[in-house]
Structure 1
């Protein structure tokens, strides 16, 4: 029987407090969402670790999992850098869950090398003008495909093959260096992270002829939505999670399902004047 992967989370408060996606300060919303995601996972899995920067740590340290302080990258553009940092720390099979992903039923993560949430081929148009920028500078990356035709949603991203994880990290740092060297104020608005992580991973796996395990393996978004409901998985991706009704629903669920932990987190926020 395969070893059950550990569940990890990462939270760097700087991007979500400093106008990521031009959304202003979404610190409180992210704290509640992270708490709810972790508490759902706590129902099903034993080995869970949250890596939080010093700011976020003060509001989530009490949760029933291992909580480890990490350094903030203080970068609102490459906002998912903390995810890369904590993936690099892992020494056994793991799955990283985004803070807006919720597992409401036990999911047995059975995969060989790498698992992702789903194929984002129906949303591929989002990548086109971003790739126009990166394609100018990627001639020396042997794995790179200028127009692969698909990418992966990485709300769930896990590795059992840690050597493959290391190859992905190498690919990530190479592309990050290209972005940092060549970016400008106009380019920073293109949201580079979906290329740095999601398209980059797809290109690398295509080059190595590796097909990842898909958590949601149907052929279109509607069918994958139905599958997600059936297995008890929800990912409120992108800016949708900041809609007032979604924000209220997350806090209400936290209050109703995990009242003790809701009180603890809310109290920590109120002590710092965050209401």
Structure 2
């Protein structure tokens, strides 16, 4: 199974006030866009010999000439769509997938992997990231389409009224052996776009992209009774399950910095740190090269050494421990954190690592669990103790079934991203 990626440059270089536009690939600036492209391709290449890029002439110059990424092949098939509207950022992927003549999996340029994609091509026609049910954003634009568009694929309308919901495939990960599906999706999307371009000023075109790529994709797969494998089940609208940098590689094997996640300072920090940690020689070469070419884009501003040292120590820690050992590792509150027991509700004050600024959180819900870490305690010990607390179990409801995994994710997040918690016996390195 080959991996493919695509990159149509026209939307990327089109500056827009649209919250769903793709200027700089959705990242705050070029620095993190370039680091994301690099980390994505390089992590994929650790598991796949064949990773092809489908782009245009400008994209080939970017990925091959500037970023020097080792794709097995770079195609410029997307040069043929440069007459299309720059806000149609998903169209390049549809064209790319429709052009394939052998089974494939397409991964977005903001996806990073720590394992092979477990696609079962014997059982499933296609694979996609997850199903979205009534996710925020679709409704307003789709209702406008139903009322005003001259042409809408029958599949979209039938699926909507059959299910009573807006159902869509998140296509961050998408591919499979059923090549006819991708060709049909491209053709139907093209007709939908070309027949209704005069409505673009009245809709959120960014959301329109998710409709003709993901909602229409679901409807066509449903119509053709395709067997669809989902890489993730029961994904929440905030996509917390797929942007969990803190549990790599024990729990999280696949990260997708979807939309809003790119705006997170923590996500940007982790992209840069992971690139520097896993691919140090490449990072150093790329940083120096880009600093000379783009002196005002912040490539000379790296993560401060004390913070980077703690991040690398954390990476070393989770890379060299088993899941069972991690469950039995004791964690405790950072001694610099201050709990106000007199406040109602109680609060915890801590320093945000990347900025040095003070912040406070109420010790409610999940954050109330931090009180258990006044003394060293492991996730396993905490799970066993809380399992006896009927009031606690009622508070978390059915979610308590996978509480241990969620607790582990919570603890590691508070360790890596905010440094509120500290594991015992973590080895401290010295960065040069």
When the two structures are superposed, what TM-score results if normalisation uses the length of structure 1?
A: 0.85
Q: 1:118 pairs with 130, 147, 168, which one? A: 130
1:10 corresponds in structure 2 to 6
2:101 corresponds in structure 1 to 91
For the residue of structure 2 that corresponds to 1:156, the secondary structure is strand
2:72 corresponds in structure 1 to 66
Unaligned runs of 5+ in 2: 300-432
CA distance in 2 between counterparts of 1:193 and 1:223 reads: 19
CA distance in 1 between counterparts of 2:290 and 2:58 reads: 11
The 1:118/1:185 distance shift into structure 2, 3 A limit, reads same
CA distance in 1 between counterparts of 2:75 and 2:184 reads: 26
Larger RCO (CA within 8 A; separation ≥ 6): 1
| Contact 1:254/1:262, CA 8 A, preserved across alignment | yes
Unaligned runs of 5+ in 1: none
Q: 2:44 pairs with 41, 44, 62, which one? A: 41
Are residue 192 (structure 1) and residue 220 (structure 2) matched? no
| Contact 2:130/2:235, CA 8 A, preserved across alignment | no
CA distance in 1 between counterparts of 2:116 and 2:145 reads: 39
- Compute the displacement of 1:183 (Å): 2.0
| Contact 1:104/1:233, CA 8 A, preserved across alignment | yes
C-alpha root-mean-square deviation of aligned residues, in Å? 2.8
For each residue in 1:22-41, what CA deviation from the matched residue of structure 2 results, as whole angstroms up to 9, or x when unmatched? 47654332221111011111
- Compute the displacement of 1:259 (Å): 1.6
CA distance in 1 between counterparts of 2:194 and 2:128 reads: 24
Total equivalences in the alignment: 269
Structure-to-structure mapping, 1:1-275, within 5 angstroms: 5-20=1-16, 21-22=18-19, 25=24, 26-61=29-64, 62-70=68-76, 71=79, 73=82, 75-111=85-121, 112-121=124-133, 123=135, 125-135=136-146, 136-137=148-149, 141-145=153-157, 147=160, 148=163, 149=165, 150-180=167-197, 182-189=198-205, 191-218=207-234, 225=241, 230=251, 232-273=253-294, 274=297, 275=299
- Compute the displacement of 1:63 (Å): 1.6
Between Structure 1 and Structure 2, whose CA radius of gyration is higher? 2
The 1:266/1:59 distance shift into structure 2, 3 A limit, reads farther
For each residue in 1:183-212, what CA deviation from the matched residue of structure 2 results, as whole angstroms up to 9, or x when unmatched? 232324563111010001011112222241
| Contact 1:17/1:27, CA 8 A, preserved across alignment | no
| Contact 1:63/1:261, CA 8 A, preserved across alignment | no
For the residue of structure 2 that corresponds to 1:184, the secondary structure is helix
For the residue of structure 1 that corresponds to 2:129, the secondary structure is strand
